[in-house]
Structure 1
């Protein structure tokens, strides 16, 4: 009576031992095959658990199918092991996908001055990884469902009405599908990449993540702006790093007409020579406008990326403001007021008038007296007011 169960237990032990030997052998072969590279360690780290569980499930399934004593339970257990095998196989496949994409991403670093190619490869790899994982999961779920006879019967009717079902699903998921195709279009058209510097809705930031439905923009103040993928295919946006990370920036100063422009150029050369923020590509000082009593001086500088450019612009602005305040105070903006001709004539007549006819010091300009009317006419160049005797 106990002999079948003893045989079953022995078969399980043998299968477990075989699974252990297989996992150890595969690990050793992987490590010994390529000793001089690092990727086998990452492969073992990524796939060790799912591979061991997969081999263990296969070994137990073989033991149950070969020596399980109860024939009534054997079909159900075999079905259960089939489902578990599909699930664990999906886990292993996803681990392999993650390993492969991580190896691809590791070859292209973003912390280098010119990382346009790295950003393109990284963006496309991340999108392809998400697509591959989604496809593997959908296939696994479909495979598990097809192991049930009832679902297989339903599948025939579903295939018969596939046209109507596809139309209904397309209408129901129109916005989702639009975002998905927009995300794929963004990635493979290279209009947007991970780590690109963009201006969206008036907000400056870097693209942190691109998914099949939305884009995450990491703003400069550590906020996160979540934007649908369709926004970038339907709206205009600014991409500062479309062709490269190098970028130009301006610093504008409103100064007095007496500003020494050559002095600004000399001071700019000194500031740029003492900082590592400037990449040495471009610098210029130009007077771009002269209106409203001031001249507008524009300084153009260049940097390796947008972050360095921001710091460089702030540094140049601060140093030039300090230079203007200490070394060229005449260049500071001022407001000039010039007295009119009529006011000057009126003041001269006041000084020549006899003391007896001079207006009272407290008498206002438009107080209504005869002298006030005369002075008002001289000041405003207006037609003299003739008063009647009754008004007087």
Structure 2
């Protein structure tokens, strides 16, 4: 009964093994070559069709998915060959369980990137800057949401190819209610940021490129991530603001509908100042300025104090940058003009002693 334990009975016919491996290798090589040939034929036809179209999005899409589609063709060819060759099937099937979801995720990821690039390229020639910022914000946020979902689903499918992970997942499904509560409690900040990002993309309280004022700082919205927003100030600092902050608290958006704004310049003058000449010079200068858009122009006395009066000089421009430059030019010009033509309008802290003081004369006498 110990004859089966004789090592001589364990001998393997290596010639048969070598033959099987050689045959599997030939089948594999033929499958790869035929798959690559099929890929070249299909893409040659697709390229001919895309050249007939004037739309650049399909060109971007083809360029992006070319690599994953090529490897998908090869994977499909090897899978078909593995159905014919049993040895190849034993080697290929465990690996294919990971490659299939990875290739599908790669294709979906590149499709999202291609459509994003195509929409952004098409958007660059848009005439309305407000509509362009609106579309750019929606594209950025929604593409990140789609990318995040593709990555999560792809990794999940790859992990479920592992038997131990699949059994754990089946066990967790039995207690899905408790698991959902636990995951929801643990991922509350991430879910809040995700929902905030989607809400901002849909309701558009701000967009990429908008000029906003938050925490007393003014800057342009540079990037909108799912968890935070970057705002670049005029001195090139970058503010990192949580996305939910823009929904939970108030902030100023200076370019919500357009960039046409009215800005003030404040002058503090002597109460004895004659206002009419200053108003006339202000209106003359601003009307002649190349950055003034002709919408709003006015000079009002907004405050009156015992030692000064406050004059508000308001003007408007087409863009926020032009308005800032117009205000700076107007402020500088008006001060220069008053120093030359109305020096009494400038505030001076002085002490007037009519006729002198008797003690002052006594102190000056020898």
Q: 1:189 to 1:59 in 2, by over 3 A?
A: same
Aligned-partner Cα distance in 1 for 2:331–2:39: 69
1:18 corresponds to which of 38, 43, 46: 38
Q: 1:161 to 1:206 in 2, by over 3 A?
A: same
Structure 2 spans left out of the alignment, 5+ residues: 1-18
| Residue 73 of structure 1: how far off its partner (Å) | 5.2
Does the aligned pair in 1 maintain the 2:211–2:254 contact within 8 Å? yes
Aligned-partner Cα distance in 2 for 1:359–1:246: 63
Render the CA deviation track for 1:218-270: whole Å, top value 9, x for unaligned.
11111111111222222222221233321111000112234443333333334
Say whether residues 1:202 and 2:229 are aligned partners: no
Does the aligned pair in 2 maintain the 1:250–1:300 contact within 8 Å? yes
> Which residue does the alignment assign to 1:58?
76
Q: Which has the higher Rg, Structure 1 or Structure 2?
A: 1
Does the aligned pair in 2 maintain the 1:15–1:63 contact within 8 Å? no
> Which residue does the alignment assign to 1:303?
317
Aligned-partner Cα distance in 1 for 2:147–2:78: 27
> Which residue does the alignment assign to 1:268?
282
Aligned-partner Cα distance in 2 for 1:116–1:7: 59
Length, aligned pairs only: 346
Say whether residues 1:77 and 2:97 are aligned partners: no
> Which residue does the alignment assign to 1:120?
134
Aligned-partner Cα distance in 1 for 2:337–2:83: 88
Q: How does 1:220-299 map to 2 (within 5 A)?
A: 220-299=234-313
Does the aligned pair in 1 maintain the 2:31–2:77 contact within 8 Å? no
Larger fraction in helix: 2
Aligned-partner Cα distance in 2 for 1:116–1:151: 49
Say whether residues 1:182 and 2:203 are aligned partners: no
Does the aligned pair in 1 maintain the 2:260–2:320 contact within 8 Å? yes
Say whether residues 1:89 and 2:104 are aligned partners: yes
Aligned-partner Cα distance in 2 for 1:111–1:259: 50
> Which residue does the alignment assign to 2:48?
28
Q: Which moved more, 1:327-336 or 1:213-222?
A: 327-336
Aligned-partner Cα distance in 2 for 1:3–1:103: 46
Aligned-partner Cα distance in 1 for 2:105–2:214: 38
Render the CA deviation track for 1:22-81: whole Å, top value 9, x for unaligned.
22222222223x1x33333322333333333332333343344434xxx35523412313
State the secondary structure of the residue aligned to 1:277.
coil
Aligned-partner Cα distance in 2 for 1:314–1:66: 80
Q: 1:312 to 1:55 in 2, by over 3 A?
A: farther
Render the CA deviation track for 1:285-305: whole Å, top value 9, x for unaligned.
112222142222211011223
Does the aligned pair in 1 maintain the 2:297–2:315 contact within 8 Å? yes
| Residue 192 of structure 1: how far off its partner (Å) | 2.2
Q: Which moved more, 1:253-262 or 1:159-168?
A: 253-262
| Residue 14 of structure 1: how far off its partner (Å) | 2.5
CA RMSD of aligned residues (A): 2.8
Q: 1:18 to 1:221 in 2, by over 3 A?
A: same
| Residue 200 of structure 1: how far off its partner (Å) | 1.0
Aligned-partner Cα distance in 2 for 1:79–1:302: 69
Q: How does 1:112-191 map to 2 (within 5 A)?
A: 115-191=129-205
TM-score (norm 1): 0.79
Say whether residues 1:46 and 2:64 are aligned partners: yes
> Which residue does the alignment assign to 2:229?
215
State the secondary structure of the residue aligned to 1:302.
strand
Render the CA deviation track for 1:98-132: whole Å, top value 9, x for unaligned.
222333334445985x5333322322222111111
Q: Which moved more, 1:200-209 or 1:94-103?
A: 94-103
Aligned-partner Cα distance in 1 for 2:364–2:236: 68
